[in-house]
Amino acid sequence: MSGAAAGTPPDLSQAIIDAIQASEPEWDQFVKNNREAPGGLPLAVKYVPARYATAYRNHPNQGLFIGRGNFTWGCGVYVTGVQEPLSTAIYGRVGVVSRFDPTGWKVFDARDPDNEALYLEWLHTRPTYREAVVTVHSNHWLHKFRNRFREAFEIDVVLFHPDEKDAGGWYTNRGHTWMAVSAFS
């Protein structure tokens, strides 16, 4: 754990650590459901605008790029498993499929309402929380907090339900699983 976790009340810190450990079975099932073949690596899909497709075609082994923008769970690669291949198609017209090796990844399952509540409780313990939410810059602050939370508890992947959907509801279902991956290999 990093410094931000050190400033967390011990009982809350332990509850978050327990939630990370309790997320493992769901993660294992997600990985199993998205394997290329039995015993193979799992596959993920990232949608990109068509203008960026050439970068993947010309350099197929460069990996997926970590977004620098402030997205739902902070900086990371946002993907879905191939089991829900169109779920994030609202973000581009080209779906890039990639294998990933989840060995040793720590996962926080934010789809679980109890885990989400732990994150919110942690958020309220931040010394700058009050100032962050009563400013015009609260969006910036909340994304910084999400990055700090993941860093503090050394979380590699956050599983979460979609927080956006296409206007017609054709691609995205509230029950789908999206992933924010800190490092993609």
The per-type count for the chain, helices as H runs and strands as E runs, is 7, 6
The residues facing 108 across adjacent strands are 158
Of 58 and 135, the structure prediction assigns the larger pLDDT to: 135
**Contacts of residue 78, Cβ cutoff 8 Å, sequence gap at least 6:** 46, 67, 71, 72, 88, 91, 178, 179, 180, 181
Nearest CA to 46 out of 109, 111, 103, 94 is that of: 94
Write down the domain spans for the chain: 3-181
Exposed / middle / buried, residue 158 (Cβ in 10 Å: 0-12, 13-18, 19+) = buried
Distance separating alpha carbons of residues 25 and 31, to the nearest angstrom: 10
Of 185 and 8, the structure prediction assigns the larger pLDDT to: 8
pLDDT band of 3, cuts 50, 70, 90: low
pLDDT band of 108, cuts 50, 70, 90: very high
pLDDT of residue 92: 83
Mean pLDDT value of segment 37-65: 79
Nearest CA to 178 out of 30, 16, 21, 69 is that of: 30
Mean pLDDT value of segment 65-87: 81
Q: State whether residue 36 is helix, strand or coil.
A: coil
pLDDT of residue 66: 61
pLDDT of residue 60: 58
Tokens of 12: 């809350």
**What spatial distance separates the first Cα and last Cα of the chain, rounded to whole Å?**
22
Give the range with max mean pLDDT: 73-77, 99-103, 181-185: 99-103
Lowest mean pLDDT among 9-18, 57-66, 78-87, 90-99: 57-66
Distance separating alpha carbons of residues 81 and 180, to the nearest angstrom: 12
Instruction: Work out the angle at residue 2's Cα, subtended by the Cα atoms of residues 145 and 109, and round it to the nearest 5 degrees.
Output: 60
pLDDT of residue 84: 93
Residues listed for the chain: 185
pLDDT tens column, 54-72:
777 766 556 665 666 667 8
